[in-house]
């Protein structure tokens, strides 16, 4: 049986635990209890294949940010969750991308993997590095932190807009779709309360992992094109 290691990331209070528990237990948890780190396992059948989902529900609070690199290294795929009624949680997903474009060398990425350790001489006084470290202290973009730790732009991810059952939307669907398209990943709206889109989000991530494994077995041809160019956004 194939096992898939899935990681649920996002800001505090966006419903990461509620989504996970809804999938595992078919139950909605309406009381917010900040998570440090919880792990769940469930056997499911996806596209005719029986598989085991090993799901890590992570902390969104800043005080647990030191734990992120570890689970980002071990996870095979990531659900990046924001709440459609919380603009800040959406901004947390993409704001770090703009900064990282100014600091794209492998040397920078390796140094940023240890933001709290001693800084190399070249880092001292660098405005770009200082800005990057500030963003990391504030949480930064979950998407870009995953790509940094994985040292790859090709990481199986699904962008999830949770709480779509609520009428007070502050993040437009089109905004989220455009962000997902810019990263080349699917976007799915969910409601942990009504279960809308919950299975779809997790199952889509498993399919992304499968496609990722196929791409590694069949690298791009000389033209540099592969199946990534055909990836679509799910809404």
The dihedral region occupied by 30, where left means phi > 0, alpha psi between -120 and 50, and beta the remainder, is alpha
Domain boundary assignment for the chain:
2-230
Identify the CATH class of 2-230: alpha beta
217-221 mean pLDDT: 75
Q: How confident is the model at residue 14, as a pLDDT? A: 93
What confidence tier does 216 reach under pLDDT thresholds 50, 70, 90?
confident
What confidence tier does 191 reach under pLDDT thresholds 50, 70, 90?
very high
The pLDDT tens digits for 117-142 are 444 444 444 444 444 444 444 444 55
Q: How many residues belong to the chain?
A: 235
The pLDDT tens digits for 29-72 are 887 666 556 889 999 999 999 999 999 988 764 444 555 556 66
Q: How confident is the model at residue 37, as a pLDDT? A: 63
What confidence tier does 10 reach under pLDDT thresholds 50, 70, 90?
confident
Of 112, 73, 85, 83, nearest to 11 by C-alpha is: 83
> How far, in Å, CA of 185 to CA of 142, rounded?
14
* pTM for this entry: 0.71
């Amino acid at each position: 049986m194939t096992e898939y290691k899935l990681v649920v990331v996002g800001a505090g209070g966006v419903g990461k635990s509620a989504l996970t528990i809804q999938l595992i237990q078919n139950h909605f948890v309406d009381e917010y209890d900040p998570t440090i780190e919880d792990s769940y396992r469930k056997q499911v059948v996806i596209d005719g294949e029986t598989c085991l989902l090993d799901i890590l529900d992570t902390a969104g609070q800043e005080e647990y940010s030191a734990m992120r690199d570890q689970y980002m290294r071990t996870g095979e795929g990531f659900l990046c969750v924001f709440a459609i009624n919380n603009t800040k949680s959406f901004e947390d997903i993409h704001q770090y991308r703009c900064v990282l474009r100014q600091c794209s060398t492998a040397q920078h990425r390796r140094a940023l993997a240890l933001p709290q350790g001693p800084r190399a001489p070249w880092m001292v006084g660098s405005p770009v590095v200082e800005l990057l470290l500030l963003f990391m202290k504030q949480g930064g973009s979950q998407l870009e932190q995953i790509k940094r730790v994985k040292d790859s732009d090709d990481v199986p991810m699904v962008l999830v807009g949770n709480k779509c059952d609520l009428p007070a939307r502050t993040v437009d669907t089109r905004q989220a779709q455009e962000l997902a398209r810019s990263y080349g990943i699917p976007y799915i709206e969910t409601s942990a309360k009504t279960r809308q889109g919950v299975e779809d989000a997790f199952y889509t991530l498993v399919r992304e992992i499968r496609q990722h494994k196929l791409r590694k077995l069949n690298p791009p041809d000389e033209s540099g094109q592969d199946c990534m160019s055909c990836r679509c956004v799910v809404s």
